[in-house]
Structures are given as C-alpha cells and as structure tokens.
Chains A and B, each alone.
Chain A
Amino acid sequence: MMKGTCSRMFAALVDLAEGRESAEAAAHVAQCASCAGVLRDLERGVRSLRAGFYDAPADVTAAAKSIFPLPVRVAVRLLGTTLAGAGARGETAVQAAYEFEGGRARILYQPEEEGWSVMARVEGEGWRAFPAELDEQGRVEFRVQALGEARLRLVREGVEVVIDPPSEEADASR
C-alpha cells in the first residue's frame, strides 16, 4: 500500500519504468524500498507488454489440436441436491450427487467471502480431474469467483465427464 509521497510519486515511477528520466523519482526510489519494489514491478510489466503477444494463427492451432484425440463425453445424471446451510455471504451451500458411466461424484458448492469453494469426492478408478487434481482418496477442491464457473471435468482413458453446477439451485440460493 502506497502512502503520501509514494502515491504522489507513482506517475514518475511509471516514467522511470518506461526509460524516461526523473531525477526526483530516482532520488525517492533510492531511499524508499517500497517504491523501489513498485518500480521493479512496473519495469517488468512494461517490458512484458513491449515484448508483445502473438496469437497463433487459426490453422496452426487447428493442426496442433488434431494431435489430441477427442475424448468421448459421457452423460451425467444428477441424482439429487440438498441445501446445506447458509454461507458467509448469506448464500446457500448446495450439495449434489451425480452418476455417470464408471463412477459417481458428490460435490459441495459452498459460498465464501469472495467466490465459491468446490469440494468433490469421486468414486471410480483412474479419473483425472480438472481444474484441480484428485488426491489419493478421490477428493478434489478448488475455488471459483462465481458458481457458474464451478465446472468439474473428469477424464479417463478417452472418456470425459463434465459436471456443471446445478443451475436451478444456484439461482434459488441467490
């Protein structure tokens, strides 16, 4: 957090980060460790932006995608949901159970101060989970900003299972 002189100095720090001279800012940075850190961050940011970003051409991306065999997506059946108490923001946690070919999953979508915590337990052998990894007990946990982003993807030997959060319950909990 920048205060007083430091906050007034920010524009000059940007000048320095861009390679322009600012005697006043240079003198301040020499005596202020906090602003010296901000300057290094700005220099890295400006350097990264100036280095440029390049999107791969569509045909190059398409050719690379063809390397990966697409997994077959199997159907998911929602066995049921239960409301599991109010969270920090007054929103309601939702517990849901799902069944699919080769496994089952129980997932708790829990509201937090900022965003949602998703905790799942997956039954069945050999699954890999995204966006986080399953532990040895088949559990996975991750956080998202909004409940709508709480997609859990499971992959095993060319089979893909996509579990989206139960939207009706999500709406009801708001």
Chain B
Amino acid sequence: MDRFQNLVYSVARRTGLGSDDAGDVFQATFLALYRNLDRIEQPETLPKWLSVTAAREALKLKRNASRFVDDAAVLDRLDDVLADEEASAEALAIEAEDADYWRRALVELGGRCEQLLTALYLDEKSYDEIMSSLEMPMGAIGPTRARCLEKLRKLYQRDRPEALDS
C-alpha cells in the first residue's frame, strides 16, 4: 500500500475532490482490491487496476454528489452518462499511471534537480522565488531546468521505454 498510496490518492484529488472525499475514494479502492485480490493474476497490472478503480470511485462519488442526478432527463440517458464516466475513468487512469512513473523518476533524480523541478512545476514558483529559496542565480535557472528535465526523461525512459515517443 505504501508503494501505491500516492497513485490512488492523486487520482482522486485530480478529479477535483477534496481531502475528505479523496479519503473515501482511497478506502473504497483498497476495499475493492481486497475483495478482488484473487482476480488479479499479474502483479504488473496492479497499478492500472488501482488507477481505474480509483477513477471510477471518484467519478461515481462526484456524480452522486451532483444535483442533476435527480433530473429526469439525465436519468433517461443514464447509460450514456455511465459510458462517458467509464471512458473518463480509463483516461484518468492512464494519465495517473503515467504520472506515477514521472513522480518516481523525480524522486530518484533527487538533489538540486528534484528541488528545482518541484519548485517550477509542482509548486509553480516564479524565477524570483526560486532565486531566493534555492539560492540559484537567475541566469542558471533556465539551463539547469533543461538539464534536469533531460535527466528526468532518461530515468523515465529507463523504466518505461514503451511509453516514450522519442
């Protein structure tokens, strides 16, 4: 569970759920895993299975929480709504699984590169803020960022060569 907690929780949060609802999705996902352990024969399919299940649970929770479910017109086309939801869950799961590879590559990258890429993309800090917090000259941020991204891409490529276009 420690290996996959970030993957599952991130799927829920990225659908726009708050921390309480994301916690419910997390619980529901691992409960589903426990009930279906015997059906998961290939360990390597587990990340995909978890992401799809978490996405389905998150979208179901959002649908149930929205008021328009009571609308008779929507109920008439519930099959379409559910089909759209399933397609969205699949797409979310693919993105989430891929993002998890990038996350692990970032952690493995470590050091100044991890700090810089985290500041730039996850924390969305400005160059001025990065100059101050990482004590890095303004002129070094751009070139360092490019070098770090290339290292990150190589780590990702090593673990997931089939997913890259280059």
Chain A: residues with CB nearer than 8 A to chain B?
Answer: 10-11, 14, 17, 34, 36-38, 40-42, 44-46, 48-57, 60-61, 63-65, 67-68, 130-133
Closest to A131 in B: B43
Q: Is the CB of B166 within 8 A of A41?
A: yes
Task: Pull 26 A–B residue pairs with CB atoms less than 8 Å apart, ordered by A.
Answer: A10-B146, A10-B150, A14-B145, A14-B149, A36-B165, A44-B98, A45-B149, A46-B149, A48-B95, A48-B98, A49-B117, A50-B121, A50-B122, A50-B124, A52-B10, A52-B14, A53-B6, A55-B5, A55-B9, A56-B22, A60-B26, A64-B1, A64-B27, A67-B34, A68-B30, A130-B43
Known interface pairs A54-B10, A57-B23, A60-B27; A49-B102 also in contact (CB < 8 Å): yes
B125 interface contact, C-beta 8 A: no
Report if A132-B34 is in contact (Cβ < 8 Å); known contacts: A41-B166, A52-B122, A54-B22: no
Interface status of B152 (Cβ within 8 A of chain A): yes
Q: A49-B121, A68-B34 are in contact. Are A55 and B6 (CB under 8 A)?
A: yes
The interface size of chain B toward A, counting residues with CB under 8 Å, comes to 43
- A64, B26: Cβ atoms under 8 Å? yes
Q: What's the Cα separation between A10 and B149 when bound, in Å?
A: 10
Q: Which label, helix, strand, loop or mixed, suits the secondary structure of the B interface?
A: helix
Q: A50's closest neighbor in chain B, by CB?
A: B121
Contact A133 B166 (CB under 8 A): no
Contact call A57/B156, Cβ cutoff below 8 A: no
Q: Are B34 and A54 in contact (CB under 8 A)?
A: no
How close is A91's CB to chain B, nearest CB, in angstroms? 22
Is A61 within 8 A of B152, CB to CB? Answer: no
Given A56-B23, A60-B23, A64-B1, CB of A37 within 8 Å of CB of B9: no
